[in-house]
Amino acid sequence: MADSFFGHLSDFLNSSEVLEEIVSNRFILILLVIFLSRLKYKTYSSMFLTALVNIPGTFLHETAHFTVGLLLNARPTSFTLVPKKSLSGGYTTGSVGFKNLRFYNALPSAMAPLLLLPVGYYFDRWLFSNYNLNVGNYIFYVLLQSIIIENALPSSTDFRVGFGNITGIVFYGIICLIGLVAYMAVL
């Protein structure tokens, strides 16, 4: 009896009409994201659950810092995904240490998680053009995109490190200005 009920429910949810409504309805998407966020924040009372829920995104975030820092000679010295209780009562879920942060590498090393945004964008393009969706893998897609996008946002520490050196800000400001002028010249 239960198998029959769940079989019919699965058939209904995965019918083309229902699937089209779920995928194209922005309200349902927002509802899913908020529901997943609420579930995530419910885990914050336990360090173990916090680590379990945050490790995939923290891994992506810290790997971005590590990789850009390595490429730009910031000399990463540590990489951890072990959460630590912070002085404010929350958790620091991961970190990367560097021993050679300079004006030319501090800003890109600190803002490196922003590189996850194009990853999320191209994952979206790839998934919807190469994969047959059903309700289950659509929910999984929303979960993965939520993880990627949330962890693409630099932390307050990232902003403090990235924008803490005026020489680096001026250096990258000039580079952006040159790029803008070159782009405008092409138009």
**What does the pLDDT average to over 167-184?**
95
Q: For residue 169, what pLDDT is reported?
A: 95
User: Is pLDDT of 28 > 80?
Assistant: yes
pLDDT at 174: 96
With a cut of 70, say whether residue 43 has pLDDT above it.
yes
For tokens 């419910």, name the residue. 42
- Burial group, residue 47, by CB count within 10 angstroms (0-12, 13-18, 19+): middle
The pLDDT-based confidence of 175 (bands split at 50, 70, 90) is very high
* Average confidence (pLDDT) over 156-168: 94
Confidence of residue 187 (pLDDT cuts 50, 70, 90): confident
Q: What is the pTM of this model?
A: 0.81
Q: How far is CA 166 from CA 70, 98, 163, 171, in A?
A: 22, 19, 7, 8
Host H or E run for residue 177: helix 166-186
Which pLDDT does position 21 carry in this prediction?
79
